[in-house]
Structure 1
Amino acid sequence: MNNMIVYEIADLGALDITELLTESKDEGFRNIHRLVNEYNEGMNTFQHEDEALFECRVGHRVIGICGLNRDPYSGGSIGRIRRLYVLKEFRRHGAGRRLVEAVIHKASSHYTKLVLKTDNPKAGEFYKNLGFKGIADDELVTHELEL
């Protein structure tokens, strides 16, 4: 799958992420609907200098998405991975890795640490394979990566 390309998104509203919305909902995940709702309501538009939203494409098809925000629970030196989702048929082909690597690259210019929260065991293993360490007994963070 060498034809996957990751781009930083300037305007989520300009993207066709219908396929991501439909499949994520069918799988029981609410994160992509939250992404769209929070973006449309202006609650989270990834517009700060130290924030970004990335898409992964194959041709014109958006196959994955992942965001970087300032961690709202820390003093500003920590970034948070938000709303990672990759279409099922592209999982285990490097799309998620490329998206998270783009987030890590962007975050390393602004933050000392990157954190996230997931209750999905497969996602937890995915992040550990990328060098994140698991955090126990924290309601807000399940994984972190020192930058």
Structure 2
Amino acid sequence: MGNARVRATNRGRSSDHDRAGSQGRVSDVGLVAIEPLHDLTSSSVGELVAESERLGLRLVRRLADEWATGANRFDRPGEILFGVSIERRLVGVCGLNIDPYAGDERVGRLRHLYVLSAFRRMGVGRQLVERAMKAAHGRFDAVRLRTNDAAAARLYEKLGFRRDVGRDDCTHVANLAPELRS
């Protein structure tokens, strides 16, 4: 379930998914499995925690800590945590919660998207978000998120999220219910 091929490229060159006709040399990074994570251990996310903290980010540490304490295990109706593994190595995560700030259980929140630096710009983050959004359909009318990272914001906007300015609790929203889309 959730297997796909991801293509890597040399820096600055296009992937085989790019239809612009670039002549980048493509190499295969191996079989990718995107699956729900039901047990998050420090050993399973240790590499992600270490790298994200070296980069000054706390989101993966917060994910691991909240899982360990039981504060957030993505176990309420409609919630799920996905992990992406390449050749059995966990290289990224992305979660979907009921948005605790919305006051409405039909509003989801995309949380803790993180992909190891070596696997970025290969479509891994996009696939994680798409998988989470597929899970959100039918359960949530909207999905919100908060990011202060410009590259992440561009990714979310390419995937159909729109900026939601003037709010402290989110920066982007994707309306899933037909009557809410504009």
Is TM-score (shorter-chain normalized) higher than 0.5?
yes
Q: Distance in 1 between matches of 2:35 and 2:44?
A: 14
- Three-state SS of the structure 1 residue aligned to 2:50 is helix
Counting aligned pairs with the same residue, the percent is: 36
- Extract unaligned runs of 5+ from structure 1: none
Alpha carbons of structure 1 residues 12 and 88: separation in structure 2 relative to 1, 3 Å: same
What secondary structure sits across from 2:105 in the alignment?
coil
The range that moved more, 2-11 or 115-124, is 2-11
**Residue equivalent to 1:6:** 34
Q: CA deviation at 1:5?
A: 1.7
The residue aligned with 1:87 is: 116
Q: How does 1:38-117 map to 2 (within 5 A)?
A: 38-74=66-102, 75-117=104-146
| Higher RCO (CA < 8 A, seq sep 6+) | 1
Structure 2 residue aligned with 1:35: 63
Q: CA deviation at 1:15?
A: 5.9
Q: List gaps (5 residues or longer) in structure 2.
A: 1-5, 8-30, 177-182
For 1:12 and 1:46, the matched residues in 2 are separated by 11
Q: CA, structure 1 residues 87+100, in 2 after alignment: closer, same or farther (shift >3 Å)? A: same
Worse-matched range after superposition: 6-15 or 54-63: 6-15
CA distance in 1, matches of 2:43, 2:126: 21
Question: Does residue 118 of structure 2 align to residue 118 of structure 1?
Answer: no
What is the CA distance between 1:14 and its match in structure 2? 7.9
Supply the distance in 2 between the matched residues of 1:71 and 1:65 (Cα, whole angstroms): 18
Greater than 6 Å deviation, 4+ residue runs: none
Is the alpha carbon distance of 1:135 and 1:62 closer, same or farther for their aligned partners in structure 2, counting shifts above 3 Å?
same
Supply the distance in 1 between the matched residues of 2:43 and 2:82 (Cα, whole angstroms): 11
What is the CA deviation profile of residues 91-133 of structure 1, one whole-angstrom value per residue up to 9, with x for unaligned ones?
1101101110111011112100010000111111110011110
> TM-score, with normalisation over the residues of structure 1?
0.95
Instruction: Compare CA radii of gyration and give the structure with the larger one.
Output: 2
